[in-house]
Amino acid sequence: MRLSGRMSDSNRIEGKAVADGVLAQCRRDVEDLRARGIVPGLAVVLVGDDPASAFYVGSKERTCRELGFHSVKLEMPASTTERELLDTVRRLNADPAVHGILVQSPPPPHIDEAKVVEAIDPRKDVDGFHPVNVAGLALEDARAFTPCTPAGCMKLIEAAGAETRGAEVVVLGRSMIVGKPMALLLMAKGADATVTVAHSRTRDLAAVTRRADILIAAVGRPEMVRADFVKEGAVVIDVGINRVEDASAKRGYRIVGDVAFDEVAPKCRAITPVPGGVGPMTIAMLMSNTIKACRLQHGL
């Protein structure tokens, strides 16, 4: 793996700084669209009162306002039926002021999330989970929307100065939210990485991950990746967000990633912390996808 530059003062990849750069470009794009009489619009739908979901929705709404988007936040009770939610999505599909639609995941258990995703107009699916966009990602169709977290990970890899072309990359995790789209992005023309997708049942997992020039950890197990999983000089992107009990912490818990940061960081060329690494990128890429949706819908 060739590295095109060094981190400024440590091997930590600070997600907020990278996200701020993406958002700065979004502001310029919004100014350009407004000069044409166009205002990008994002609708976020929250069903139920899950505190974590409400926090994320609030963050998205604040970012929309700061960028000058037309922002729609619809809060629906946990008793909302699947049909009512689908009707809401269809109304948003038909609203020309709304260019992007996001239904906060997960919905209450009585609602089939796959049906909700499929009901969203693919042109407004700024989360990138509609089957049409998943197929577009696999086919390298520039019109397809890339899921926000994998897209953000690619920006962080770039910020670390890591060259993906010819590099051996291991994606630890095979979800449709991160693992699978991440692998597709890394294999695409231009990235040209050699990609292995591993998971918790991979035989001799540590031996597989130790081959990686770039390791993406997205398995959802707190601090599963230890020092012996990582080779010297690797770039590690930790997507995990896990709550673990900690009586010494003010809230009684702390947030950790899938990587044992203190143990692994000394071996890394660059590594994302948790929190503060991948997290800020997800919202930034959602804003970027919404601007892309707006441009496409206006034929720009």
Cα–Cα distance measured from residue 287 to residue 5, given in angstroms and rounded to the nearest whole number: 28
Q: Which of 127, 213, 238, 258 is catalytic?
A: 127
pLDDT at residue 92 in the model: 98
| Confidence at 10, pLDDT banded by 50, 70, 90 | confident
Cα–Cα distance measured from residue 300 to residue 293, given in angstroms and rounded to the nearest whole number: 10
pLDDT at residue 3 in the model: 35
The residues, ordered by sequence, that sit 6+ positions from 124 with a Cβ below 8 Å of its Cβ are: 92, 93, 98, 99, 100, 101, 293, 297
pLDDT at residue 79 in the model: 96
Residue 145 in tokens: 């929307």
Contact 174, 208 (CB under 8 A): no
Contact 22, 151 (CB under 8 A): no
Give mean pLDDT, residues 144-159.
98
Phi/psi region, residue 270 (left: phi>0; alpha: psi -120 to 50; beta: rest), is beta
Cα–Cα distance measured from residue 135 to residue 159, given in angstroms and rounded to the nearest whole number: 28
Residue 40 in tokens: 């990008």
For tokens 């899950």, the residue is 50
Query: pLDDT for 172-185, tens place per residue?
Result: 999 999 999 999 99
Kindly state the percentage of the chain with pLDDT values over 70.
97
pLDDT at residue 175 in the model: 94
Say how far residue 175 (Cα) sits from the centre of its chain: 12
Q: Which of 104, 155, 213, 292 is catalytic?
A: 104
pLDDT at residue 9 in the model: 46
- Residue 124 is among the residues annotated as catalytic for this protein: no
Determine which helix (DSSP H) or strand (DSSP E) holds 114, and give its type and residue range. Answer: helix 113-119
Query: pLDDT for 195-239, tens place per residue?
Result: 999 998 999 999 999 999 999 999 999 999 999 999 999 999 999
Amino acid at 123: R
Label residue 250 exposed, middle or buried (CB < 10 Å: 0-12, 13-18, 19+).
exposed
- Closest residue by Cα to residue 119 from 132, 136, 106, 108: 132
Kindly state the percentage of the chain with pLDDT values over 90.
88
- Collapsing DSSP to helix, strand or coil, 102 comes out as strand
Q: Which of 60, 124, 155, 180 is catalytic?
A: 60
Between 247 and 42, the more confident residue is: 42
Contact 106, 78 (CB under 8 A): no
| Confidence at 5, pLDDT banded by 50, 70, 90 | very low
| Confidence at 31, pLDDT banded by 50, 70, 90 | very high
Query: pLDDT for 111-129, tens place per residue?
Result: 999 999 999 999 999 999 9
- Residue 127 is among the residues annotated as catalytic for this protein: yes
Does pLDDT of 8 surpass 50?
Answer: no
Angle (CA) 229 165 241, round 5°? 40
Does pLDDT of 130 surpass 50?
Answer: yes
Between 57 and 148, the more confident residue is: 148
Does pLDDT of 69 surpass 80?
Answer: yes
pTM, entire model: 0.92
Contact 1, 211 (CB under 8 A): no
- Collapsing DSSP to helix, strand or coil, 24 comes out as helix
Cα–Cα distance measured from residue 279 to residue 14, given in angstroms and rounded to the nearest whole number: 10
Give mean pLDDT, residues 12-22.
96
Beta strand spans in 227-266 (E) = 234-238, 242-245, 253-256
